[in-house]
Amino acid sequence: MTGGFESLHAHTRDTDGHQTHLEALESAAALGYQVLAFTDHDWFPEPDTVRQLQSYTGPVKWLLGIELSAFHQGSDQAPHNLHVLGYFFDPQNRQLQDYLQELEQGRIERMQRYVEHLSALGFTISRQDCLTAASGSRIIGSPHIVKAIESHPENQAIIDRLKDQLAAAAEHDPELKARYERMIKEGPRQYPYVLFMKASSFVPFPAGHKMSMLSLEDASKLIQAAGGIAVLAHWFFNQDAVSRPQLESLLSTRQLDGVETEVVNLITERDVSAETTYLRSLTTRFDAIETMGSDSHDQADLQAFAESPAAARSVGQTQRIIDRIQPNLTWSNLK
Ligand SMILES: [Zn+2]
Ligand SMILES: [Zn+2]
C-alpha cells in the first residue's frame, strides 16, 4: 500500500454513515489516507463536532463539505433526485442554512409518506421502525427506510413478489425489460429503489409536494453563492436524471464546477468504467474540476476505496483544487 489517498466524499453517523467523524479519521489514517472530506447529506456538523475536529492531532487532513439533495428534470421529463457535493463554502451563509432547515422538515414529512406508501403495499413498517433504523443520525434518509423494511423478515416476500411482477410486466415492454435487467445486474441492494422507493420506481413512491427541494441548478447556485464549488456526485447512478447533453451544458456554463469521476461503494455491482472515462474526458474538455471519493459509510467502504485503482489517482486532487480556486480553508485543517 502506497498511501496518500484522498477521498472527497464520506459520510458519518450524523447522517447515514456508521462512524463518528473521529472514528472515520482513525480508520482513514490506518488505511493510509492523507485527506478525508466529510460530506453528509444536507447536513453541516454542529459546533461540538467542529470543535472535536479542530482538536484532532492525527495525520489525516480533513475538510467539511456537504452532499446536497436536489432534483433535475431528466430527458424523460420526470423529476429525478440527485446529489450535489459542495466544498469550501461558508456554512454560516443564511440562504444555505435556511435550505438545510427546510430539507430537515421535509424529510420528517417524507418518512411519514413512506410509512403510508409501504403499508399500502403490505409491508410491515412503522414510524418507530424508521426512527430506530436511523438511530444516531441527524437526518432520516431512504437507506434508513430500507433498513426499517429489512428489520421485519416477512417483508422480503413482498420484495420478491414485486420483483416477479416487474419481471412479468417486462416481458411485453422493452423499457421495463431494460430496467429489470439493469436491476438484476446491480444486485439486491438496488431492488427496493427500482421496485418501490422512488417516484420513478416500478411502483412509484408518490413524491408529494416538492416544497423545499431545489433544482440541481439552484442547489449549485446556493453553494456557489456561499463561496463554494458545486460538483455533481456519482453521475453513474443518475444518468436518467441528467443526460449527457445536459451534463455537458451544465459544465460548459459553470452551473456545475465539476464532476465526481470515481466513487467506490457497494451501491452497485455494475461496471462503470466506461462512464468514468466519459466523465474524465468532460473535465478536460470543459476545464472542470475532477473529484474522487470513497462515498464511504463505514470502515469497509474506506478500505474498498483504498484498495481500488482510483486510490492512486486520488492523490493530489485536493491540492490541485486549492491551487486552482484559492478557497477559504476555515472549515478544515488544510492550512
Ligand atoms: Zn449521494
Ligand atoms: Zn454520498
| Residue 284 alpha carbon to ligand 1 centre in Å | 23
Ligand nearest to the CA of 15: 2
| Residue 198 alpha carbon to ligand 2 centre in Å | 17
Ligand nearest to the CA of 68: 1
The pair phi, psi for residue 226, each rounded to 5°, is -90, 10
| Residue 39 alpha carbon to ligand 1 centre in Å | 9
| Residue 171 alpha carbon to ligand 1 centre in Å | 32
Q: How far apart are CA 251 and CA 270, in angstroms?
A: 26
Q: How far apart are CA 100 and CA 222, in angstroms?
A: 11
Of 183, 161, 162, 181, nearest to 173 by C-alpha is 181
| Residue 228 alpha carbon to ligand 1 centre in Å | 18
Q: Is 163 left (phi over 0), alpha (psi -120 to 50) or beta?
A: alpha
Residues 60-81: tens digit of each pLDDT: 999 999 999 999 988 778 888 8
Q: How far apart are CA 7 and CA 30, in angstroms?
A: 14
Ligand nearest to the CA of 293: 2
Residue with cell 492550512: 335
DSSP classification of residue 214: P
| Residue 189 alpha carbon to ligand 1 centre in Å | 15
Task: Report pLDDT for 269.
Answer: 66
Residue with cell 455533481: 232
Ligand nearest to the CA of 65: 2
Ligand nearest to the CA of 234: 1
pLDDT-based confidence at residue 139 (cuts at 50, 70, 90) = confident
pLDDT-based confidence at residue 135 (cuts at 50, 70, 90) = confident
- Measuring CA to CA, how many Å separate 319 from each of 201, 285, 315, 316, 329? 40, 21, 9, 6, 12
Measured CA angle at 224 (ends 220, 225), to 5 deg: 115
- The answer for residues whose C-beta is within 8 angstroms of residue 264's C-beta and 6 or more apart is 294, 295, 301, 304, 305, 308, 310
| Residue 11 alpha carbon to ligand 2 centre in Å | 6
Task: Report pLDDT for 64.
Answer: 98
Is residue 95 packed enough to be buried (19+ CB in 10 Å), middle (13-18) or exposed (0-12)? exposed
Ligand nearest to the CA of 16: 2
Ligand nearest to the CA of 238: 1
Residues 259-272: tens digit of each pLDDT: 999 987 555 667 88
Residues 203-248: tens digit of each pLDDT: 999 876 555 789 999 999 999 999 999 999 999 888 889 999 999 9
Q: How far apart are CA 10 and CA 52, in angstroms?
A: 17
At 134 the three-state DSSP class reads: coil
Q: How far apart are CA 89 and CA 230, in angstroms?
A: 9
Q: What is the DSSP annotation of 4-36?
A: -EEES-B--TTTT-SS-HHHHHHHHHHTTEEEE
Ligand nearest to the CA of 39: 2
Surrounding ion ligand 2 within 5 Å at CB are 67, 295
Residues 161-211: tens digit of each pLDDT: 999 999 999 999 999 999 999 999 989 999 999 999 998 899 999 876 555
| Residue 168 alpha carbon to ligand 2 centre in Å | 33
- The answer for residues whose C-beta is within 8 angstroms of residue 183's C-beta and 6 or more apart is 166, 190, 191, 194, 195
Ligand nearest to the CA of 40: 2
Surrounding ion ligand 1 within 5 Å at CB are 83, 233
